[in-house]
Structure 1
Amino acid sequence: MKILFISPRYRGGGAERCARELFLGMRERGHSTEMWTAVPEEDVPAGVQCVRTFAERLLYPVNYVDPVADWRHISTRRKLDAIQPGDFDAVHLHNIHGHWISIKALHRLCQRLPVVWTLHDEWAATGGVPYDLTRWPGLNDRLDGYRKRTSSLVPLTTGEPVAVCWERFLSANLPPVAAVVSPSEYVLALAAERFQTERTSLHHVPNASRLHGADIAADRTTSTDPPQVLFIAANPMSPYKGGDFAIEALQKLETQAGPDTFRLLILGRQAEEFQQLLPRSISCQSGYASSEAELLSAYQNSAVTLLPSIAENYPYVALESLRAGTPVVGFRIGGLPEIIRNSAQGKLVAPFNTTELAEGLLRFLSRSKSETPDQDIMRAGLSDFPAFLSRMEDLYQHHAVPSEERCVSGSVA
């Protein structure tokens, strides 16, 4: 098969990791893969190309006048409209929001080729809102502060003017894909309300990471002294990542455990900026994991991973942490309860109780260094990467363009 992946970046957060690992995994299984992205990146494999021109990126401010402005995506519209049935057997969409690609062109593409769409957040299900924060009344007093830290083009609730514009646009232009995939049951349930057509099938396929092999946990190193808390996010400053709650919980943890009883490691694109918000009394390091080896080392050298997000689908941070044998502490939101299934894997607390969050961290920081978690228990319920690849491969093959149609088009893949 020849499969086209569409993702805003080759490297980035969890959504980009999912697209990248499928791109590589399918290629390793003998399929031909390409990936179209929104930005040029260095050191990417053959077949990865940026399809948005620099001039098109300069038109981004237009969206402050017209929040949708689908007309301005000239280069992606031309690229997508040029695709014919013989060019690819299937197309796999990942994050198509973010004002970088023509939604109308994707809608037209669905008339010519089978398209699979993995939902990494609520954007498609809610009609234009990445995560509808009105689901949590406890956040009402923080929404104004969050809006100051977020682009006005990213609605936090369904009632905002930008969200209303997107809802109106998507009601007529939501791509009629052949299959919708959600890694969590929670987003799948939301999607079922939006994709109520015979044309689209819905699939629950939990993500799996290829970061860790089957024997990785056997190489787990000894935790640091004092024990380390890991906070990792593609953008720790994003309000969705719960940085304000992390700070509150860490301050309470310091009060409960005493000074110099733990250290904090922050990894992400704006980790140093987030570190400046922490009390100086908290021992902290920050940086960016530039390789999978560095990422793995961070997990294995930590006693616990803090995941204070206020909105999540099926976070890779939790999957990777458990694969490395490190428990996770976070709020009981989104798809996290589908990952953290037992007390060894971590602790999920009521949203957004930072006292309980601190107590959960203290529980794992206080464990004896000689106490080794049972890896079968730590990985209970997690999908392994080969099985994940097989499920996606079956989905592509089920919806792929029949060979006779490819022959008619004059190009046999």
Structure 2
Amino acid sequence: MLKVNHISFSSSEGGAAIAARRLHLALRASDVNSAMTVAGGQPGPGIQIFERRRTPCRIVEREYARHLRRKHEAQAAGLLSLAMVQSGLGRHLNGQSRQVLNLHWVNSDFMSIPEIGGLSHPVVWTMHDMWPFCGTEHYTEGHGWQDGYQAAKPGTIEALNLRVWKNKRKFWKRPFHIVAPSRWLADCARESALMRNWPTTVIPNAIDTETWRPASRAEARARLGLPADVEVVGFGAMGGGDDPRKGFGYLQEALSILRETRPDVRALVFGADAHDADLPFPVHIAGKLADPEDLRMTYACADVFALPSRQDNLPNTGVEALSCGIPIAGFQIGGLPDLIPNSQCGRLAKPFNARELAQCIDAVLEHQIAHRDQSITPMGAAAREHAVRSYAFPVVARQYAALYEKISQAQP
């Protein structure tokens, strides 16, 4: 098989980078010749840093892109990416020997739209958000991406979306093979004006289930200083209240409702914004954690992991929780039905009913309490089994390897 080169802005910072790195490691563990080309992040086997070019032209392009972002950011609901700055990466990759390129999150001026369209190697693009088929947005509740932003008015954020979307349509003449980690994101690509006729495959994100495995609840709680007999709701506060897409307000409301019947619950919060977590229960702050063992022990403290997102693909925290044997409660949106395919792995509420979310959390807690004398509860065992069956390194690597072989043969 040809060499596979994963193109990602980072090798370690952010959910998309973590997912890309895990896929790279999963492939190497399956004897696939896999490399990563990144702008920065943690070093590792097969990971190469590409130094973006520094020319007067690039400086002018970056300043103009910043001007456009600043002009429209007040109208935007989240991150905007214009991908109009040439980095030189496209030419660098095209000068290398034949390989399969697996694009991941390539924004922050890592690759421009023309550079992406000009790649000469076979390309697989693993989407970690909606940006590939949208304009500037990475996530949106609007529908411009479905009709090509026909309702865009001059001077608005939609006009900028239309401009970037047209740029993609102009330069992306050859369809890439799209991989979506969730059925929801695959359906979005198939419904989009830009990529509806592009080949699309659903392959979930990978996780090392040997590293991310269940731990002793008693040992974990003793380590973090949590009482052994209290009910604990876990939450990953990456973005916290600053990112409305993560639904932190719904969690606050749901826990306020839950407090009426379960006044002794504790909240366990980790992540970059954990200290900003304002919840109606005593909160144990685990802080920002990077070491998998620290995170594994933190998950082990929880009886249920809350994922109250408004929009999400296949969040790493959900995959990690399942692999550690922790059931999930969230809304029936995005990739969460893939994470929780049945009531044994957790519970899903109708969007965005906080009372129903509280009932889902309560139902999982009731089950966990009833089986607390077991080393792993039936729901925890089902969550773990789902993770091993769906997300383990060999399972995901096998699917990607078959896809790489297929597209490398289709494009001589």
Q: How far does residue 392 in structure 1 lie from its aligned partner after superposition?
A: 0.4
Separation of aligned partners in 2, 1:252 and 1:131: 29
Q: What is the Cα deviation at residue 364 of structure 1? A: 2.7
1:103 corresponds to: 113
Secondary structure of the structure 2 residue equivalent to 1:216: coil
| Greater CA drift, 61-70 or 243-252 | 61-70
Query: Is the CA contact (8 Å cut-off) linking 2:83 and 2:108 kept in structure 1?
Result: no
1:397 counterpart letter in structure 2: E
3-state SS of 2:118 partner: helix
Q: 1:393 aligns with which of 382, 385, 401?
A: 401
For residue 41 of structure 1, report the CA deviation from its aligned partner.
2.9
The change in CA–CA distance for 1:247 and 1:196 in structure 2 (over 3 A counts) is closer
2:129 corresponds to: 121
Choose the corresponding residue for 1:238, options 235, 243, 257.
243
1:43/1:163 CA distance change after superposition, 3 Å: same
Instruction: Give the structure 2 partner of residue 296 of structure 1.
Output: 296
Unaligned runs of 5+ in 2: 70-80, 144-155
Contact kept? 1:345, 1:377, Cα under 8 Å: yes
What residue number does 2:195 align with?
A: 195
Which amino acid letter does the alignment assign opposite residue 360 of structure 2? Answer: G
CA contact (8 A) 1:116 1:177 kept: no
Aligned residue in 1 for 2:349: 349
Distance 1:355 1:246 in 2: 10
The equivalent residue for 2:213 is 216
Give the whole-Å Cα distance in 2 for the aligned partners of 1:238 and 1:182. Answer: 22
Q: CA RMSD in A?
A: 3.0
TM-score by length of 1: 0.79
**Where does the alignment leave 5 or more consecutive residues of structure 1 unmatched?**
136-157, 406-413
Match of 2:262 among 245, 257, 260: 257
Residue pair 2:235, 2:269 contacting (<8 A) in 1 also: yes
Q: Is the 8 A contact 1:234 1:268 kept in 2?
A: yes
1:26 maps to which residue?
Answer: 27
CA distance in 1, matches of 2:108, 2:246: 18
| Alignment partners' CA distance in 2, 1:325 and 1:92 | 31
Which residues in structure 2 correspond to 1:8-407 (within 5 Å)? 8-38=9-39, 40-52=40-52, 60=62, 62-67=64-69, 70-71=83-84, 73-74=85-86, 76=87, 78-84=88-94, 87-109=97-119, 112-134=120-142, 160-174=158-172, 176-193=174-191, 194-197=194-197, 200-210=198-208, 212-213=209-210, 216-217=213-214, 219-222=215-218, 224-225=226-227, 226-236=230-240, 237-258=242-263, 261-272=264-275, 274-275=276-277, 277-278=278-279, 282-366=282-366, 367-368=369-370, 369-371=372-374, 372-374=376-378, 377-378=382-383, 379-380=385-386, 382-400=390-408
Deviations along 1:230-263, whole A, 9 cap, x unmatched?
A: 11154333222112222222232233311xx122
Q: Secondary structure at the match of 1:309?
A: coil
Do the aligned partners of residues 50 and 358 (structure 1) sit closer, same or farther apart at CA in structure 2, a change above 3 Å counting?
Answer: farther
1:255-309 Cα shifts (integer Å, max 9, x gaps): 3311xx122222222222x22x445x53331411121111111111211101011
Q: Work out the CA distance in 1 between the residues paired with 2:108 and 2:129.
A: 12
Mapped to 2, the partners of 1:334 and 1:34 lie a distance apart of 30
CA distance in 2, matches of 1:306, 1:54: 44
For residue 25 of structure 1, report the CA deviation from its aligned partner.
Answer: 2.3
Number of aligned pairs? 367
In 2, the alpha carbon distance for the partners of 1:164 and 1:128 equals: 9
Contact 2:286 2:298 in 1 (8 A): no
Distance 1:235 1:79 in 2: 30
Q: How has the CA–CA distance of structure 1 residues 234 and 8 changed in structure 2, closer, same or farther, with 3 Å as cutoff?
A: farther
Asked if the contact 2:26–2:206 (Cα under 8 Å) also holds between the matched residues in 1, the reply is no
Q: Whole-Å Cα distance in 2 between the matches of residues 383 and 168 of structure 1?
A: 36
Q: Mean Cα displacement is larger for which, 45-54 or 85-94?
A: 45-54
Q: Which amino acid aligns with 1:66?
A: L
Q: Is the 8 A contact 1:114 1:401 kept in 2?
A: no
Cα deviations across residues 66-98 of structure 1 (Å, max 9, x unaligned)? 356645x34x2x231133375241000111344
Separation in 2, partners of 1:214, 1:20: 15
Is residue 113–residue 401 contact of structure 1 (8 Å, CA) maintained in 2? no
Identical columns (%)? 25
